[in-house]
Structure 1
Amino acid sequence: MVMTDNLSGERRRQGRIEVVCGSMFSGKTEELIRRMKRAKFAKQKVEIFKPSIDTRYSDEDVVSHDQNVIHSTPIDSSGNILLLASDIEVVGIDEAQFLDEGLVGVCNQLANNGVRVIVAGLDMDYQGVPFGPIPALCAIADEVTKVHAICVKCGALAYVSHRLVANNRRVLLGEQQEYEPLCRECYQKALEAEGATHPEDDTEEDRQTATAPSHNH
Structure 2
Amino acid sequence: MHAITNSGWVEVITGCMFSGKTEELLRRLRRAEIAGQEVAAFTPAIDDRYGEESLGSHAGNEWTATVVENDPESVLEIPGKLNGEQVVAIDEANFFPAELRDVCEKLAADGRRVVVSGTDQTFRGDPFHPLPALMATAEYVEKLQAICTVCGEPATRNQRLIDGEPAHADDPTIMVGAEESYEARCRNCHELRED
TM-score range, shorter chain: 0.7 to 0.9
C-alpha displacement of 1:88: 1.4
Aligned amino acid, residue 42 of structure 1: A
TM-score normalized by structure 1? 0.78
TM-score normalized by structure 2? 0.87
C-alpha displacement of 1:41: 1.2
- Whole-Å separation in 2 of the counterparts to 1:159 and 1:47: 29
Residue of structure 1 aligned with 2:10, choices 17, 33, 36? 17
Amino-acid identity (%)? 43
Match in the other structure for 2:158: 161
Match in the other structure for 1:209: none
Match in the other structure for 1:96: 93
- Whole-Å separation in 1 of the counterparts to 2:8 and 2:185: 35
Superposed CA RMSD: 2.0
Deviations 1:54-80 (A, max 9, x none): 101212111100001111110113112
Tell whether 2:191 aligns with 1:181.
no
> Which has the higher mean CA deviation after the structures are superposed, 90-99 or 76-85?
76-85
Query: Number of residue pairs matched?
Result: 181
Aligned amino acid, residue 43 of structure 2: K
C-alpha displacement of 1:170: 7.0
Write the mapping of 1:37-186 to structure 2, written as runs, cut at 5 A.
37-76=30-69, 77-165=74-162, 168-169=171-172, 178-186=181-189
Q: Are 1:50 and 1:75, in contact at CA under 8 Å, matched by a contact in 2?
A: yes
- Whole-Å separation in 2 of the counterparts to 1:114 and 1:129: 33
- Whole-Å separation in 2 of the counterparts to 1:88 and 1:102: 21
Deviations 1:72-93 (A, max 9, x none): 1101131121111241100000
Structure 1: 4+ residue segments shifted above 4 A: none
Match in the other structure for 1:4: 3
Aligned amino acid, residue 39 of structure 1: A
The gaps in structure 2 that reach 5 residues or longer are 175-179
Pick the structure with more strand per residue: 2
Q: Are 2:2 and 2:8, in contact at CA under 8 Å, matched by a contact in 1?
A: no
Deviations 1:11-40 (A, max 9, x none): xx4300000000000000000000011111
- Whole-Å separation in 1 of the counterparts to 2:58 and 2:172: 23
The gaps in structure 1 that reach 5 residues or longer are 7-12, 172-176, 197-217
Structure with higher Rg: it is: 1
Aligned amino acid, residue 26 of structure 2: I
Per the alignment, do residues 112 and 195 of structure 1 end up closer, same or farther by CA in structure 2, a change over 3 Å counting? same
- Whole-Å separation in 2 of the counterparts to 1:49 and 1:17: 15
Pick the structure with more helix per residue: 1
